[in-house]
Amino acid sequence: MDNIILSAVLAFLITYFAIPVIIQIAKDKKLFDEPDERKVHKVVIPTLGGLGIFAGFIMGALMGVPANLAAELQFYAAAAIVIFFLGMKDDILVLSASKKFIGQLIAAGILIKFGGIQINNMHGFLGIYELPNIASIVLSFFTIVVITNSFNLIDGIDGLAGSLGLITTLIFGTYFYFADYLLFSVLAFALAGSILSFLIYNFSPAKIFMGDTGSLLLGIVNAILVIKFINVAADPTSKIYFESSAAIGFSILMVPLFDTLRVFGIRLMQRRSPFSPDRNHIHHFLLDLGFSHKKITLTCTGFSIAFIALAVALNPVGPTALLLIVFAVASALTGWVYYLRQKVRQRALGNRNENAVRTRKIFSLASDPVEAE
């Protein structure tokens, strides 16, 4: 417990004192996120908050992990450093989607080859258990890259990605603590400490954004945690055993994960790059319904907690049935929000058309005397 407290507190303090300095430097160097038609903020805001998150996380993890576990930590730190520089360059200079993807593959490769972060067993999902090595590697790459991007893509509202990341890391950290996996508990709580500190400056109205530097870091660490959770929790000899560990693990990440898979699917069906920007994310739908940033963040975090509770409660039904149930609920909720959004848009369009007709009538009446002359 002392290691976990040390890592969390140290991470919190480093991030807390680093962010004001980063804000000032960003202002001096004009390193801002500029508003445009797709983004929801109206003023320029510094984007290098991820630098503070990374500093707190890496120092908290290095100080909190015991020396006898440091050999394993080095590979997770290496992957995080790759992601850090990838995100930093994109925040400052802007990277193409292909270069970001290659960087993410490199980080995923480090985790799979050297860190042992690999899905080698489906634990009964779809009736599948042990996977062939090639299938295991491909699935692991896919999972890590998708989860890494899920936090990047959900980061469109003040406090949203940070709040979701705080929930997931606290859940994983608590599980690993009671399951006696100290290294992963320290990793989770170190990131949780950094996120909590960052949210002081990022919750609406935001003074700074985490940028790709922060959101990609949240994604890669959560990818490590969820894959390790699935493998540990599925072991009947584990201190805390979950028959449906795969479904529960992905349910913990359901809000960012489902939104990312849904948006990727839409873009591919439209023959666009899955990484091309648009306004099809769930937070865009809620914005169109008139929700504030705070209300969207609270709504999404509430749904995240509900998905986790539902998954744990339905653990006995098995991984396949459980994941289908959770995905069905997520689909229904998203469809309902989309339906409400379309109604609001149609009402707004009707009002605009009505106003246009009234305007034309006014101009027509005003011009009649002139035409008569």
Question: What's the confidence (pLDDT) of residue 167?
Answer: 97
Looking at residue 367, its pLDDT comes to 59
Q: Average pLDDT, stretch 146-155?
A: 94
Sequence ranges of the domains in the chain: 2-337
In 3D, which of 207, 189, 202, 190 has the Cα closest to residue 163? 202
Interval 241-256 mean pLDDT:
95
- Written as six digits, the tokens of 110 are 């480090």
pLDDT (average), residues 148-164:
93
Quote the CA–CA distance of 225 and 168 in Å, as a whole number. Answer: 9
Cα separation, 116 vs 181, whole angstroms: 15
Rounded Cα gap, residues 217 and 229, in angstroms: 18
Confidence grade of residue 362 (pLDDT, cut at 50, 70, 90): low
pLDDT category at 354 given cuts 50, 70, 90 is low
pLDDT tens for residues 32-49? 666 655 555 556 788 889
The percent of residues in the chain predicted with pLDDT above 90, rounded, is: 73
Mean residue pLDDT of the chain comes to: 90
Q: How far apart are CA 312 and CA 55, in angstroms?
A: 33
Question: Percent of the chain, pLDDT > 70?
Answer: 90
Predicted confidence (pLDDT) per residue in 58-87, tens digit: 999 999 999 888 888 999 999 999 999 999
The pLDDT score that the predictor gives to residue 39 is 55
From the number of C-beta atoms within 10 Å of its C-beta (0-12, 13-18, 19+), residue 370 rates as exposed
